[in-house]
Amino acid sequence: MGAGHAHRLYRHGHSPVHALPPHTKLAAAFAFVVVVVSTPREAMWAFGLYAVLLAVVAFHARVPAGFLLKRLLIEVPFVAFAVLMPFVAEGERVDVLGLSLSVNGLWGAWNVLAKGTLGVASSVLLASTTELRELLLGLQRLKLPPLLVQIASFMIRYGDVITDEMRRMRIARESRGFEASGVKHWGVLAKSAGALFIRSYERGERVHLAMVSRGYAGSMPVIDEVTASRAQWSHALTLPFAALVVCVLGWTL
Amino acid sequence: MHVPDGFINAPTSAVTGVLAAGAIAVSLRGARRELDERTAPLAGLVAAFIFAVQMLNFPVAAGTSGHLLGGALAAILVGPFTGVLCVSVVLLMQGILFADGGLTALGVNITNMAVVTTVVAYAVFRGLLKVLPRTPRSVTAASFVAALLSVPAAALAFTLMYAVGGTTDVAIGKVATAMVGVHVLIGIGEATITALTVGAVIAVRPDLVYGARGLQQKLRLRVNGELVDVPAAEGARTAPVAARTSRRTLWATGLVTSLVLAGFVSFYASSSPDGLEKVAADKGIDKKAEEHAVSDSPLADYGVKDVTDARLSGGLAGVIGVGVTVVAGSTVFWAVRRRQSTDASPTTVENV
């Protein structure tokens, strides 16, 4: 699933959702997905309401529907899996259009499709309204280990550099007439991957030396501490709380 | 096999989340010991490398292509702790930024794809290197086998999670067959690419490959026509570093591997008697066989219950499996450690 990774994720904007502090958005998205996952699958209308909630957020964030739907395509491999489910699952069977399908399997497929799609949609909304750097600050604010956040920030920072390096190697290969068409070319591609590793590792060593020469001693100074007011928290948490109400209704009704 | 939200139920996701957090905490400490303050930039760059190399498509035939998963490669190139960290960070970022793999399924994904692949690959790799001759070729061969086994191992771990907390009742046997079948095929591709890549790195910078650190030949000089060892004056500089980390590493990987193995044992202990029992019930022979099975062995007792008790019985069998495997593993590691301490004289000389 690597093909879709290169396009721009963040949509610049000045909406109320963009303006929220990153850690409140992270917490809200996570809580929302937890609530969605713990909803009983028989309450179909609840998932419709969740979708409406996300649509309201998307409207406030001024994220166009086409953009959101295009990004949902990442889910396709699992949709294929979900489609298979009614055919292989156990339990009583029902005839639909001449096919014998498992009732449990149908419920299972619905469950995975609904919850998976809502989860992907909320991640997409989070990523398209929050800048990468803000997201990392938010993770740090949510007490993720600082070392992990540093590793993630280096990965994000140098991800494009390394990807570009890979692209240059590909262009170099192709300009020498190489065309990968089958298993017999794996050796060449693996040599490129090996060279890419060596270049990445050596770049890491150089980056480290450059950091040490600027006074790095194991931890990054936090200059722009993000804080959230009570009002901002309550704005962000409106989404999971509304979802929680729906979830409770789904369990009781 | 990024698992989306809703595929595994909430309690199981929470438990795997705790498991993944524990593994990451251990790896953070281990990586800091391996790399000191260089951890952040180096692990970050290696994570970026894994992220990029996952986009490198390897054509199989007729338009289809596969790509590397990278767990085994990371473990062999930069060590198990840093490897777990790098793959976990990649998964975390894919989950948050690219919506690839659900937020609540992060624990499941990290446990499967970062922890199980890396630990299994590294344990197999280390075990093979102990047996094989100390040549670069055997490093390549060992990384092939390690990567080959790591992918189906992750598939089995997923099946186990599915058995505990799956949201649909597809028969576990079917899930296991499908997952392992597909992933053995993927594993062959992964193994070929990993072995070729490790071979390519060893050819250029053998000192960078974590799994090949013990391989450096003693530097010998030809003085007046005969080969003479270089005096071991600066050899003492490098030896203690290797000795300090390797024992702990061995211990941690051994323990985790035994846990994973015990998981498989419990999986089989719970599933196969179930099938047996079903057949027995169908044929009406269970009346006679019941006492027999109970009196035969404790594991048989835990296995032969009806379906609702299968998880409990599997768990109990697993606990026993953990006990046995930890004892066996400790014995092996004790033996290995003794052998290591006997030939731990400072022989390695950096020939760079």
Please check whether residues A157 and A77 belong to one and the same domain.
no
Q: Is B14 on the interface with A (CB under 8 A)?
A: no
Could you tell me the CA-to-CA distances from B50 to A21, B67, B106, B309 in Å, in that order? 30, 11, 18, 42
For residue A92, the distance in angstroms to the closest alpha carbon of chain B comes to 12
Average pLDDT over residues A128-152: 85
How many angstroms from the chain centroid is the CA of residue B200? 22
Please check whether residues A105 and A207 belong to one and the same domain.
no
Query: What is the pLDDT, as a whole number, of residue A128?
Result: 87
- pLDDT over 90 for what percent of chain A? 5
Q: Greater confidence, B277 or A26?
A: A26
For residue B342, the distance in angstroms to the closest alpha carbon of chain A comes to 34
Query: What is the pLDDT, as a whole number, of residue A44?
Result: 82
Q: Is A209 on the interface with B (CB under 8 A)?
A: no
Nearest CB neighbour to A180, from listed B9, B59, B98 = B59
d(CA B289, CA B280): 8
Q: Greater confidence, A211 or B281?
A: A211
Query: CA dihedral in degrees (B146, B149, B151, B155; nearest 10)?
Result: -150
* Closest residue, chain B, to A200 (C-alpha): B45
Please check whether residues A179 and A87 belong to one and the same domain.
no
The residue type found at A37 is: V
Sequence-distant (≥ 6) Cβ neighbours of residue A189 within 8 angstroms:
A180, B56, B58, B193
How would you classify the pairing of strands B226-229 and A99-102? unpaired
- Of A24-38, A145-159, B63-77, which range is least confident? B63-77
d(CA B329, CA B83): 23
Q: Is B25 on the interface with A (CB under 8 A)?
A: yes
- Of A117-126, A187-196, B223-232, B342-351, which range is least confident? B342-351
Nearest CB neighbour to B60, from listed A107, A183, A190 = A183
Query: B204 contacts in A (CB within 8 Å)?
Result: 194-195, 198
Q: Is residue A199 part of a domain?
A: yes
Q: Is residue A242 part of a domain?
A: yes
Domain count, chain A: 2
Cβ contact, residue pair A145, B39, below 8 Å: no
Please check whether residues A131 and A172 belong to one and the same domain.
no
Query: What is the pLDDT, as a whole number, of residue B165?
Result: 76
Q: Is residue A221 part of a domain?
A: no
Q: Is residue A219 part of a domain?
A: no
Q: Which of residues 158-197 of A touch B (CB under 8 A)?
A: 158-159, 161-163, 165-166, 180-183, 185-187, 189-197
Whole-prediction pTM value? Answer: 0.72
Could you tell me the CA-to-CA distances from B37 to A1, A63, A116, B41 in Å, in that order? 33, 41, 39, 9
Please check whether residues A241 and A125 belong to one and the same domain.
yes
Please check whether residues A56 and A72 belong to one and the same domain.
yes
Q: Is residue A41 part of a domain?
A: yes
Could you tell me the CA-to-CA distances from A127 to A130, A132, B342 in Å, in that order? 5, 8, 55
Nearest CB neighbour to B45, from listed A74, A107, A200 = A200
pLDDT tens readout for residues A218-229: 777 777 777 788
Cβ contact, residue pair B45, A107, below 8 Å: no
Query: What is the pLDDT, as a whole number, of residue A8?
Result: 65
Q: Greater confidence, A249 or B251?
A: A249
Q: Is residue A195 part of a domain?
A: yes
Q: Which of residues 99-158 of B touch A (CB under 8 A)?
A: 99-100, 102-105
Where helices occur in B171-285 by DSSP H, the ranges are 172-204, 235-283
d(CA B91, CA B85): 10
Query: What is the pLDDT, as a whole number, of residue B327?
Result: 56
Query: What is the pLDDT, as a whole number, of residue A7?
Result: 44
Query: B174 contacts in A (CB within 8 Å)?
Result: 88
pLDDT band at A171 (very low <50, low <70, confident <90, very high): very high
Q: Is residue A126 part of a domain?
A: yes
Helices B10-35, A22-37: inter-axial angle, 10-degree rounding = 140
Q: Which residue has the tokens 């019930």?
A: B281
Q: Is residue A220 part of a domain?
A: no
Tell me the residue range of the domain where A155 lies.
145-212
- pLDDT tens string, chain B, 352 residues long: the values are 678 787 788 888 889 999 999 999 999 888 888 777 777 888 888 888 888 888 877 776 656 666 778 888 888 888 888 889 899 999 888 888 877 777 888 888 899 888 999 999 999 999 998 888 878 888 889 999 999 999 889 888 888 888 887 766 677 777 788 878 888 888 888 898 889 888 888 888 888 888 777 766 667 788 877 777 776 554 444 444 444 445 555 556 555 555 554 554 444 444 444 444 444 444 444 444 444 444 444 444 444 444 344 444 444 454 454 555 555 555 555 555 555 454 444 444 444 4
Query: What is the pLDDT, as a whole number, of residue B119?
Result: 92
- Of A87-101, A174-188, B326-340, which range is least confident? B326-340
How would you classify the pairing of strands B57-61 and B64-67? antiparallel
d(CA B65, CA B70): 16
Please check whether residues A29 and A87 belong to one and the same domain.
yes
ipTM of the complex in this document? 0.84
Q: Which fold has domain B1-216?
A: Arp2/3 complex 21 kDa subunit ARPC3 (1.10.1760)
Sequence-distant (≥ 6) Cβ neighbours of residue B100 within 8 angstroms:
A1, A5, A74, B2, B94
Cβ contact, residue pair B49, A201, below 8 Å: yes
List the one residue out of A149, A145, A155 whose CA is nearest residue A203: A155
